[in-house]
Structure 1
């Protein structure tokens, strides 16, 4: 399975702390969704939106089942993994798992869109130090 990432996991520093494998990745776009900030947090959620809306991110290719389990655990109850079509180029699409907001948690969504560049510049070090329970080599039970 491929996995489309649009928040903290699109940064290799975070991705490599969650999964065991080394995976190829490519820039990709998810149509029909918006990326919103989460109240009081530095990570985003994806919400269904208008067909012309889109989220730019990364798609990681051919993820092993044990790493899918690790990603499911990392994403937790706020998210549900859905299979969506993502665009890799103007003429290439693929199906990928995408972690979208669980509707039961709509109250966590902030008004503003999430800014990936702002996250990279000012929140990535904080995020890495706050989410140290996930690192390469640990089993899910050791989180």
Structure 2
């Protein structure tokens, strides 16, 4: 099952730290998640998704290549997120193909959204360096499921 990345995991350096390798181009494809919008999590530098009819979120469709990918992604996202399988639209030459992917959504009200939209280039410029340092300080992601 594929995953839909919509936040910090759209950054190649974060992917490398979380997965333990840099995914190849065959593993990542542009995609859109309809019916949601991306907001900054309150008091955090990363995003959350909120339901929003008529909206869509651009991101990446990730095809896992290793057995350790799923447990590493779950460990990275932590208990504040749960996965749901949702319809996504994979971008491809000549149109958009429908599909399904695992999406990390906030687990209840413990991760409220701020009013601000979360934008990857702004995060990369403003928050990425500190975020990467905090990831590196945590050490490697676990390779086995919890």
TM-score (norm 2): 0.84
**1:37 partnered with 2:61:** no
- Structure 1 residue runs of 4+, over 4 Å off? none
Q: Is the 2:28–2:60 Cα contact (8 Å) retained in structure 1?
A: yes
Work out the CA distance in 2 between the residues paired with 1:6 and 1:71. 13
CA offset at residue 140 of structure 1? 4.6
Q: Is the 2:4–2:102 Cα contact (8 Å) retained in structure 1?
A: yes
Q: Is the 1:31–1:53 Cα contact (8 Å) retained in structure 2?
A: yes
Q: Is the 2:68–2:143 Cα contact (8 Å) retained in structure 1?
A: no
CA offset at residue 101 of structure 1? 1.1
Unaligned runs of 5+ in 2: none
**1:101 partnered with 2:106:** yes
After TM superposition, list the pairs within 5 Å mapping 1:66-81 onto structure 2: 66-81=68-83
**1:119 partnered with 2:138:** no
Unaligned runs of 5+ in 1: none
- CA-to-partner distance for each residue in 1:55-99, whole Å, 9 max, x for gaps? 111111144442111111110111111111111123312211100
Work out the CA distance in 2 between the residues paired with 1:63 and 1:102. 26
TM-score (norm 1): 0.85
After TM superposition, list the pairs within 5 Å mapping 1:1-143 onto structure 2: 1-20=1-20, 22-23=23-24, 24-50=27-53, 52-89=54-91, 90-106=95-111, 108-132=112-136, 133-135=138-140, 139-140=142-143
Q: Normalized per residue, which structure has more helix?
A: 1
Q: Secondary structure at the match of 2:86?
A: strand
Q: Normalized per residue, which structure has more strand?
A: 2
CA offset at residue 104 of structure 1? 3.4
